[in-house]
């Protein structure tokens, strides 16, 4: 089975200028693939947890997510595991889905600015997620006219709020050849399977048929980071997942996430998240309460 990432072709349903889909089958979460498309994309996940891998950005989310991606920003599927009933809704639209000049009008300035920010990937706060999620769920039952009006309302909310984080998911925002997508997909899948073990540069380079020096130069040029840092980000994202579950002690999470040294784990956790593992867990508990 090929893992090559290809352009995803998206066609709106008949009678609509954009695409909206609802997913509830957990089986769709088990085989994420590296893909891109020229459409803007809103992803709403009502609850659950998983990894965000968007361009050169990797992080963990808990209690659902609301993401806005600009065009041609490569990413994997976002769902990972769901402990309860959930809803995932995806909206995809081209920049000119309402006509070439529609968003050039002065009334659309806020949305035009939102589109520009989304080119580096955006995630929204829980309060925004809940407000927008309500509208997205309602849109599924609307006729095409009301659905369009509600989408504009959603875009206005996302454009006006300051409750968002820019992911700075740069470096892979495409002009990347299909060969690069194949290689990145191969690297991601390999690290996904092996991140709890030691992964040498030699074995990783062999997976993509490159020498170690060529692989190091290639990976740094494509992602803006070293392969070691990429693996550490992957491990920390897994550690964040375990911390959110609140069962394992932090020392155990260190080793369960692929680190062999507790001091190194703490250092990398601070470097990547800006917090210590204990503060991260405490913040999660405060948020839940």
* Residue 173: band (very low, low, confident or very high) from pLDDT cuts 50, 70, 90: very low
- Average pLDDT over the chain, rounded to an integer: 82
Contacts for 150 with CB less than 8 Å, ≥ 6 apart: 135, 138, 139, 142
The CATH code for residues 178-288 is 1.10.10.60
Q: What are the C-alpha distances in Å from 190 to residues 30, 181, 207, 226, 234?
A: 15, 14, 8, 16, 12
What is the percent of the chain where pLDDT is above 90? Answer: 42
Burial 107-124 (b: 16+ CB within 10 A, else e): ebeebbebbeebbbbbbb
Q: What class is the 19-166 domain? A: mainly beta
* Residue 78: band (very low, low, confident or very high) from pLDDT cuts 50, 70, 90: low
Whole-number pLDDT of residue 82: 46
Residue 287 has pLDDT above 50, yes or no: no
pTM beyond 0.75, yes or no: no
- E-assigned strands of the chain? 19-23, 40-45, 49-54, 57-62, 65-69, 88-93, 122-124, 164-166
In the chain, domain spans: 19-166, 178-288
Could you report the per-residue pLDDT of 205-242, keeping only the tens digit for each? 999 999 999 999 988 887 778 999 989 988 888 888 78
Q: What is the mean pLDDT of residues 89-99?
A: 90
């Amino acid at each position: 089975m090929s893992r090559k990432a290809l352009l995803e072709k998206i066609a709106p349903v008949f009678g609509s200028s954009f695409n909206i889909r609802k997913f509830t089958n957990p089986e769709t979460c088990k085989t994420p693939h590296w893909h891109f498309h020229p459409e803007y994309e809103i992803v709403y996940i009502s609850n659950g947890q998983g990894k965000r891998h968007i361009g050169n950005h990797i992080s963990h989310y808990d209690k659902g997510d609301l993401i806005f991606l600009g065009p041609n920003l490569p990413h994997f599927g976002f769902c990972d595991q769901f402990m309860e009933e959930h809803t995932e809704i995806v909206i995809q639209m081209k920049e000119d889905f309402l006509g070439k000049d529609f968003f050039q009008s002065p009334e659309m300035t806020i949305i035009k600015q939102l589109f520009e920010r989304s080119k580096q990937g955006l995630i929204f706060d829980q309060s925004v997620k809940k407000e927008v999620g309500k509208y997205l769920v309602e849109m599924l039952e609307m006729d095409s006219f009301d659905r369009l009006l509600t989408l504009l309302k959603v875009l206005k909310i996302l454009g006006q709020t300051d409750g968002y984080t820019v992911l700075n998911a740069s470096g892979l925002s495409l002009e990347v050849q299909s060969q690069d997508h194949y290689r990145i997909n191969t690297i991601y899948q390999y690290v996904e399977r092996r991140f709890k073990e030691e992964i040498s540069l030699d074995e990783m380079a062999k997976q993509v048929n490159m020498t170690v020096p060529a692989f190091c130069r290639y990976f740094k040029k494509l992602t803006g980071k070293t392969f070691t840092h990429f693996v550490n980000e992957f491990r920390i994202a897994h550690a964040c997942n375990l911390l959110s579950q609140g069962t394992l002690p932090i020392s155990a999470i260190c080793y369960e996430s692929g680190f062999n040294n507790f001091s190194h784990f703490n250092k990398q956790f601070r470097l990547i998240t800006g917090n210590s593992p204990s503060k991260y867990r405490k913040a999660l508990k405060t948020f839940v309460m």
